Structure 1
Amino acid sequence: MIEAGGRSLRVAHWRLGEKSNHPPILFFNGIGANIEAVAPLAEMLTERGFVMFDMPGTGESPDPVMPYNPFTMCWTASQVLDHLGVELCDVMGVSWGGAMAQHFALQHPKRTRRLVLAATTPGMLMVPGNPAALSKMADPRRYIDPEFMNEHFATLYGGVDRDGAAHQKDSHIGRLKPPSPRGYLYQLLAMLGWTSLPALPFLSKEVLIMMGDDDQIVPLINGRILASAIRNSQLKVLKGGGHLFLLTHADESVEALRDFLDAPDTSEELGRAA
């Protein structure tokens, strides 16, 4: 537990004390998701540090007392980095956390080297997903009821392989802890009316946009919108990937991450880091 920005947050970090040629990744999770949901990704990236925290009211972080917005939460995230002694990082976010990652890169450009956006949108100006998936996403049973997940996994997340992906469902639900009602509500409120679209043309970062072509929650078109707005971006489409492609297509996702993050720094990036 770390006190940051006037909040008590449960923070996880990997390999920060180990020598590495790469900056660590600051990761923003999807709405309602706890650290354990994405821990397998952190464990696969063995050559670099990784930092992630439970949003207020999710995982083991206490309920928020007051609502927050992207500005205050990104400032809080910068306080977490200060506490851990991290100056420069690569920033990554998935879904709801992808919006938060965009805001962090815009708010804290000197702390951000590169940006990875997975299964996400520019905020309220987005193309909505499958109504059947969105209605089931709001159902709290997706966190705690294996039978509900077994029945609706394909509709909810997409990207299910021919065997029904029982291993995907069992593995995913086993790592989930439901957020508190207040924590979930405040995450929804945080992004109400928010969009990054007017600011994205001014984002001077190298950006990787990762999307699944079978994502039922965030359709691929949203990734194309991001790519058209960010001048230094590249779009990676994972064939057959649903909303959870970082886990269901883990090897392919990690390969794409390494290809992007390990590419030589441009002179512009080196100048900003200095």
Structure 2
Amino acid sequence: MTDTIGSGEVSLENIGGRQLRIARWRLDEPSDHPPILFFNGIGANIEAVSPLAEMLDDRGFIMFDMPGVGGSPEPLIPYNAFTMSWTAAKILDAFGITTVDVMGVSWGGAMAQHFALQHAARVRRVVLCATTAGMLMVPGNPAALTKMANPRRYIDPEFMNEHFQTLYGGIDPDGTKHQKDAHIGRLKPPTPRGYFYQLLAMLGWTSAPALPFLNKETLVMMGGDDQIVVPINGRILASLIPNAKLVEIPDGGHLFLLTHEDESLAEIRAFLDAPEGEALAAA
């Protein structure tokens, strides 16, 4: 059964033995650009990022709910970055996609790194937002990390509203109420097992030793006011990846793609649309 999110199609598909809820936009439309394969943040469902897919309207876009998140059934056994990268490649196969630009945010940024390393032949460019090299990360604000781990942020809109600034930073109290309310309204809580397995998947994981071998043009984007993934983590990533460009949104928080969407989108488009060999200069 196929459903819709905006202009996107959503369906539950059997991929590599897993039932996964997959959303895709414009895959059957002609484009001068490869589709974007997007990996979401921990516990975040497809709807949380659907506005980004709608705005990047000149190319395909595909993403999926992790097991136990959004509309994907609970996982029976744990998974890791390797198995989910393999699964993502199987999703691309199922929809006839050979090459992608891969993008990830926060937890999904780690997945994007792993996918680009594991399936390098299928990746053209990489966009990493508000993310780290894994276990070697510099920790964020303890107050934000404590609230981030509290499941109430998914199920209690009042809790989320009260602690939004601490959790995500970069909020203009007078200018982003609509965006904040809209984001809260799009969230659906993961199952406890789904959330735990996402945490478990990255336990002990780091990309740091492999990043010098990531020979893809890479845009690293960070929020200067990010309370969860502090900006120095982006500088670490950019220093380890040979062909990386670091862009910092000075007053952006962890959700700068939401709160600073015009600025973020301009940087992403400039990077992805640049001719071969010129992406780092354009970003």
Indicate which of 169, 172, 175 corresponds to 2:186.
175
Indicate which of 57, 61, 65 corresponds to 1:50.
61
User: What is aligned with 2:45?
Assistant: 34
After superposition, what is the alpha-carbon deviation per residue over 1:95-147, rounded to whole angstroms, capped at 9, x for unaligned? 00000000000000000000000000000100010000000001111112121
| 3-state SS of 1:3 partner | strand
Distance in 2 separating the partners of 1:258 and 1:139: 34
What letter corresponds to residue 134 of structure 2 in structure 1?
G
Distance in 1 separating the partners of 2:265 and 2:182: 18
Distance in 2 separating the partners of 1:155 and 1:126: 19
Indicate which of 91, 102, 119 corresponds to 1:80.
91
Residue 200 of structure 1, CA deviation:
0.4
Indicate which of 101, 125, 129 corresponds to 2:136.
125
| 3-state SS of 1:10 partner | strand
Distance in 2 separating the partners of 1:71 and 1:228: 24
Residue 169 of structure 1, CA deviation:
2.2
After superposition, what is the alpha-carbon deviation per residue over 1:140-186, rounded to whole angstroms, capped at 9, x for unaligned? 11112121122111001000114273223211110000000000000
Distance in 1 separating the partners of 2:115 and 2:221: 18
After superposition, what is the alpha-carbon deviation per residue over 1:183-208, rounded to whole angstroms, capped at 9, x for unaligned? 00000000000000000001110000
User: What is aligned with 2:217?
Assistant: 206
| Residues 8-27 of structure 1 mapped to structure 2, 5 A cutoff | 8-27=19-38
What letter corresponds to residue 134 of structure 1 in structure 2?
L
User: What is aligned with 2:238?
Assistant: 227
| 3-state SS of 1:155 partner | helix
If the length of structure 2 is used for normalisation, what is the TM-score?
0.93
Distance in 1 separating the partners of 2:82 and 2:122: 15
The sequence identity of aligned pairs, in percent, is 73
Report whether the alignment pairs 1:138 with 2:170.
no
Asked whether the 8 Å contact 1:149–1:169 carries over to 2, the reply is no
Report whether the alignment pairs 1:189 with 2:200.
yes
- What is the aligned length? 267
For structure 1, which runs of at least 5 residues remain unmatched after alignment?
Answer: 268-274
Asked whether the 8 Å contact 1:213–1:219 carries over to 2, the reply is yes
| 3-state SS of 1:19 partner | coil
What letter corresponds to residue 160 of structure 1 in structure 2?
I
Residue 20 of structure 1, CA deviation:
0.3
Q: Decide which moves more: 38-47 or 163-172.
A: 163-172
RMSD of equivalent CA atoms = 1.0
For structure 2, which runs of at least 5 residues remain unmatched after alignment?
Answer: 1-11, 279-283
